[in-house]
Amino acid sequence: MPNVSTVREFLLLSFSEVRELQLVHAALFLLVYLAALTGNLLIIAVTAFDRCLHTPMYFFLWNLSIIDLCYISVTVPKSVVISLTNHRSISLLGCVAQVFLVDLFAASELLVLTAMSYDRYAAICRPMHYELIMNNTACGKMVAASWLSGLLIAVLLSASTFSLRFCGSSIVQQFFCDVSPLLKISCSENHVAIDVSIISGVALGVVCFIYIVISYVHIFQAVLRMPASESRAKAFSTCLPHFTVFTVFLFMAIISYLKPVSDSPSTLDLLVSVFYTVVPPTLNPLIYSLRNRDMKAALGRVLKRSFRLPSLRDKMSVSFC
């Protein structure tokens, strides 16, 4: 039998069948989306326009904000529309696009976060060679490799998923099109290609996690040897939130992909998905901007230049930042 999908549209899951709770969900998700949108756009603008932040660390942060902005835009707006209109259908092409884009941005974020951990390792553990190690060429290659690897994983997962036949139920037990709930409603018995793709993605995540753990072991050892308590506090305030967000993001994604999908998903299933699709893009701007003195200072400079012409003092402060 040819691998042709007979289902031409899917029905996504609503968070509740009660109208009042649907409106609460729509309002909550809309606020979260606007917060993520504002925070990530702010980071993109500040790191692009302030020359003091044209460093490897903020170059990676700029890319991370672009990924987060796209990542949350793939799933949350559609979920808000579903709650407002109760129109749960999504076309086959739209479902393919969601699977592809979610996997692309999730894998790219994983790899960019790994590159950021290497940047912190080089800055703290090898400060004398930092500029040589993290030069413009090296940073560009790391980001390009992150995007290309994410693209490859997304192509493998989406192509192997939609090579299956969907000839029965069209109800996707998730608030967006994802690989695991689509496998549940597939009527194909041969899942070798998708199993290999999922195992490859999980293996990549585990390798990145091991690499980051090793990097942070060296970082924390170097930090504890620092004589000044202020330097230790600054290093910990930069590294610990990064490690926490990465760990939550990775393990929630692995749980979501490896856990068997039940016929009637529980609140826990939805929360796990929210933790790896909605929470990281919303928390990253808070962690990397509100807790970062350089970002707050740069934001102040950008706002001053936006509302008035720069004086000689402003030009000198930019020159010596």
Which CATH number is 256's domain given? 1.20.1070.10
Are the C-beta atoms of residues 62 and 43 closer than 8 Å to each other?
yes
Task: Give residue 301's pLDDT band: very low, low, confident or very high (50, 70, 90).
Answer: confident
Both tokens of residue 305? 């230049």
Sign of CA dihedral 175, 270, 210, 219: positive
pLDDT at 316 over 70: no
- pLDDT band per the 50, 70, 90 thresholds, residue 196: confident
In angstroms, the CA 235 to CA 224 distance is: 10
Residue 2 confidence (pLDDT): 45
Q: Please return the burial class of 271, using the count of CB atoms within 10 Å of its CB with bins 0-12, 13-18 and 19+.
A: exposed
pLDDT at 178 over 80: yes
3 lies in some domain: no
pLDDT at 260 over 70: no
The verdict on residue 2 lying in a domain is no
Domain span holding position 45: 9-319
Among left, alpha and beta (phi > 0; psi -120 to 50; other), residue 86 is left
Contact assessment for residue 79 and residue 29, using Cβ atoms and an 8 Å cutoff: yes
Query: CB of 23 within 8 A of CB of 190?
Result: no
Q: What is the pLDDT of residue 141?
A: 95
Average pLDDT in the chain: 81
Per-residue pLDDT, averaged over 5-33, amounts to 84
Question: Domain tally for the chain?
Answer: 1
Q: Which residue has the tokens 């928390």?
A: 283
Within 8 A by CB and 6+ apart from 236, the residues are 223
The pLDDT assigned to 102 comes to: 93
Task: Report if residue 93 sits inside a domain.
Answer: yes
Q: Name the least confident of 17-21, 63-67, 277-281.
A: 17-21
Query: Domain for residue 49, yes or no?
Result: yes
What is the average per-residue pLDDT within 116-136? 89
Q: Distances from the Cα of 69 to the Cαs of 35, 62, 92, 172, in angstroms? A: 11, 11, 24, 24
| Residue for token pair 């504890």 | 224
Domain-located, residue 87: yes
Residue 59 has, within 13 A of its CA and on its CB side, a CA count of 17
Query: Both tokens of residue 152?
Result: 């490859």
The answer to whether residue 195 scores a pLDDT higher than 90 is no
User: Quick one: pLDDT at residue 289?
Assistant: 67
Nearest in space to 182 (alpha carbons), one of 196, 201, 163: 163
pLDDT digits (tens, 9 = 90+) for 130-155: 989 999 999 999 999 999 999 999 99
The mean per-residue pLDDT over the stretch 228-242 comes to 68
Q: What is the C-alpha separation between 116 and 218, in angstroms, rounded?
A: 15
Assess if residue 1 is contained within a domain: no
pLDDT value, residue 137: 93
117-126, 164-173, 237-246 — which is least confidently predicted?
237-246
Report residue 171: phi and psi, to 5°: -90, 115
Amino acid letter for position 62: W
For residue 4, being part of any structural domain is answered with: no
Kindly state whether residue 77 falls inside one of the protein's structural domains.
yes
Mean pLDDT, residues 40-67: 88
DSSP annotation of 262: P
Angstrom distance (rounded) from CA 104 to CA 148: 9
Residues 114, 211 contacting (CB under 8 angstroms) = yes
Highest mean pLDDT among 78-82, 141-145, 315-319: 141-145
Q: Which amino acid is at 244?
A: T
Average pLDDT over residues 41-55: 85
**Which range is most confident: 140-154, 189-203, 241-255?**
140-154
pLDDT tens, residue by residue, 302-314: 667 766 645 545 5
